[in-house]
Amino acid sequence: MSDVTLYGFPLSTYVRTARIALAEKGVAYEHLPFEPNTDDMMAVNPTGKVPAFKHGDFVLYETLAITNYIDQAFDGPALQPADAKERAVMNQWISYINAYVFSAMVHEVILFRFEMLPMDQAVLDAGVIKSKDQLALLEATLSSNDYLAGSTASLADFFLYPILAYMGMIPEASLLADYPGVTAWKARMESKDSVTGSAPPL
Ligand SMILES: N[C@@H](CCC(=O)N[C@@H](CS)C(=O)NCC(=O)O)C(=O)O
């Protein structure tokens, strides 16, 4: 029986980020697919959001803290660059993805398309404009780099991929063709067992 538990429903992009990190490190874990804002979830994360994580009796929430801990506490390949500048770039991207990409692409586009929010065309239209700007910024890096920070995948890529995976499943997927570096990066990520093995049940 593993002493590691991940809490949170598998449709969540943040749960998938944590699952990719766990798989990359080869960590065996129990996955309890609690819905957000339930008593079960609140018991391990006072915000009610997913995911949360437990190792032995150590409980943690917030995906960046969880994935940093996974990287440092377990054997396996490093999930963060050793080089100070590359690590700073990785953290810049994670901050950007959490502050801007998640809200524009997930809250203003994807949730409408998956009918998890009642359609608001004005919000969707604004979300698509923001998404295009964000894809252009990502393209500026991914047109000449295999990954967001350095030559191997890092936590930044694991935060971004689950969001762009959903973008690839909705009508706005056609936008991705305008960003060949992003499209090639997405295919590169999809060649990883950690990514295919964490696909949500859709
Ligand atoms: N800052 C949190 C964000 C987690 C988050 O927003 N999770 C979403 C699912 S992807 C959630 O629980 N949403 C439910 C809600 O906000 O009520 C983290 O990094 O873990």
User: What integer pLDDT is reported at residue 202 of this predicted model?
Assistant: 85
Identify which of 6, 13, 14, 40 to mutate to test ligand 1's pocket (most ligand atoms within 8 A of the CB). 14
User: What integer pLDDT is reported at residue 89 of this predicted model?
Assistant: 98
Q: Residues in the chain, how many? A: 202
**Three-state SS at 9:** coil
The model's pLDDT over 81-92, given as tens digits with 9 standing for 90+, comes to 999 999 999 999
Q: By the 8 A CB rule, do 53 and 59 touch?
A: yes
The whole-model pTM stands at 0.98
Closest ligand 1 atom, CA of 13?
10
Ligand 1 proximity of 37 Cβ (cutoff 6 Å): yes
Q: If you measure from the C-alpha of residue 186 to the centroid of ligand 1, how many angstroms do you get, rounded to a whole number?
A: 23
Name the maximum alpha-carbon separation found in the chain. 49
Q: By the 8 A CB rule, do 44 and 52 touch?
A: yes
The model's pLDDT over 2-47, given as tens digits with 9 standing for 90+, comes to 799 999 999 999 999 999 999 999 999 999 999 999 999 999 999 9
What's the rounded Cα separation, in Å, for the pair 17 and 40? 21
Which amino acid is located at 26 in the chain? G
Ligand 1 proximity of 14 Cβ (cutoff 6 Å): yes
Question: Where along the chain do the CATH 1.20.1050.10 domains lie?
Answer: 84-196
CATH code assigned to 84-196: 1.20.1050.10
Classify residue 74 by its DSSP letter.
S
What's the rounded Cα separation, in Å, for the pair 180 and 157? 16
Question: Where along the chain do the CATH 3.40.30.10 domains lie?
Answer: 4-73
User: What integer pLDDT is reported at residue 1 of this predicted model?
Assistant: 58
Name which of 18, 4, 20, 90 is nearest 49 in CA terms: 18
CATH architecture of 4-73: 3-Layer(aba) Sandwich (3.40)
Closest ligand 1 atom, CA of 50?
12
User: What integer pLDDT is reported at residue 150 of this predicted model?
Assistant: 87
Ligand 1 proximity of 63 Cβ (cutoff 6 Å): yes
